[in-house]
Amino acid sequence: MKKLLLLSMFIPVFLWAQKDSIQELEGVDITAFQQVKLPTLEDEYVLDYLFDEQEIVLLSKLKLNYIIRRVDADFKELERIELKQKPERFYTDCMGYHHLLTTDSAYQIYFGNEGINFLYPMLKDKFLSLLSNCVGTTEKGLVYETFMNKNQTHMFIEFDTINDVNNLLYISNDMENYFSLLEDQIRHELEWAANINNLSAMSINFNHMVLSKEGYVPFFNIDTGFVILDHRQNIGIKGNFFQSKEIFDIVYHHKESWADHIIQAENGDIFYAKLLDGGLLMIQDLGHNFQEGGKITNVNKHTFPQQLKIKDGYLYYLAREHKEDSYIKLWKVKV
């Protein structure tokens, strides 16, 4: 069980399988395994879930009640808590601590010897404003991400809580795209100023909301430090706690089916790429070194499964058993 972290740093304390087929495609094994529905309660509608060591914590709706259930690996119920507020989801912060979000509040979840406790209620909006752009930790403090230049400049900044200073950890730039977006915006604004019309206004909004979307440059903590995957520049950066950095090439994201998402295994520094083909999910094993050519697993029973997590060599996710079925269940498949 994780011990409660008392956050006294610059932020306040927070509240709270059977193998079916294998085929060869471009030198990569494409494998399909049987997807297994985990034995939740018959009328249980699973909203979210998280792992606590070898246990699973379910956030569910059971008939008219919202509950949290803690179960073991065999789904034997260990604890059940009925919630008085309508929950939204679980939230894991940049330090690895879990929280429950309701419509207006956030509660830190503490897994103690006597069961689950909810601590330090806080307004949800304030909680997210403090933590939503915190992406990880270093030996000296916390790592925050920030965006500039129409989201084409992506910076990772270490807040050194020991020396009370900010350090630039990494910056990803696409200035060519920024100047192209800026030129496009100015042109549409001039058109709108000369002849006010809905089309020009829509073009300005499209430039701001769609074309200016940030690139996918995720940060992950690993056992030896951290890794940043700059899909704009086709490179990865590994850093350790002694400040040295290793730069390596990445190519897995050049696939047409690449879905802009990397999954880190819950209990190890193994990474997987999310691929989508017409709504059908595929998971590619990238190993420790993010190399192309790893095994790809087809998840072909469900379209657009949600809440993807990988633990002990299995992909867990939420999906309906049938399209007409009103219950969302927890599933797993070997990867």
Count of positions (residues) in the chain: 335
Residues with Cβ < 8 Å from 40, sequence gap 6 or more? 46, 58, 60, 75, 329, 330
Question: Quick one: which of 283, 282, 335, 285 has its CA closest to 312?
Answer: 335
pLDDT 10s digits, 246-271: 999 999 999 999 999 999 999 879 99
10 vs 35, more confident:
35
pLDDT of 324 higher than 80: no
Q: How far apart are CA 110 and CA 308, in angstroms?
A: 23
Q: pLDDT confidence of 322, banded at 50, 70, 90?
A: confident
What is the number of alpha carbons within 13 Å of residue 276 lying toward its C-beta?
Answer: 11
Contact 115, 79 (CB under 8 A): yes
- Who has greater pLDDT, 327 or 272? 272
Beta pairing partners, 55? 52
Question: What is the structure's pLDDT at 279?
Answer: 81
The better pLDDT of the pair 8, 196 is held by 196
Indicate the pLDDT class of residue 192, thresholds 50, 70 and 90.
low
d(CA 159, CA 138): 9
Position with higher pLDDT, 289 vs 23: 289
**Distance separating alpha carbons of residues 84 and 66, to the nearest angstrom:** 8
Q: One-letter amino acid identity for 312?
A: D
Distances (CA, A) of 114 to 1, 117, 229, 251: 11, 9, 40, 48
Q: What is the pLDDT of residue 205?
A: 57
Q: What average pLDDT is seen over the chain?
A: 83
Residue 260: the pLDDT is: 93
pTM of the model: 0.82
CA 75, CA 202: separation in Å to the nearest integer?
Answer: 51
Residue 8: which pLDDT band, with cuts at 50, 70 and 90?
very low
With bands split at pLDDT 50, 70 and 90, how would you rate the model's confidence at 188? low
Q: What is the pLDDT of residues 196-238, one digit of tens each?
A: 655 555 655 555 554 556 689 999 999 989 999 999 999 999 9
DSSP H helix total and E strand total for the chain? 3, 26
pLDDT band per the 50, 70, 90 thresholds, residue 9:
very low
Q: How far is CA 102 from CA 85, 89, 110, 306, 322, in A?
A: 7, 7, 16, 19, 28
CB atoms within 10 A of CB 29: 14
Strand 141-148 and strand 134-137: the pairing is: antiparallel
pLDDT at 23 over 60: no
Going by C-alpha positions, the residue among 249, 324, 325, 253 that lies closest to residue 284 is 253
Between helix 198-206 and helix 175-194 the angle, nearest 10°, is 170
Predicted local distance difference test score (pLDDT) of residue 212: 52
The half-sphere exposure of 287 on its side-chain side, counting CA atoms within 13 A, is 9
Q: Provide the token pair at 211.
A: 């074309």
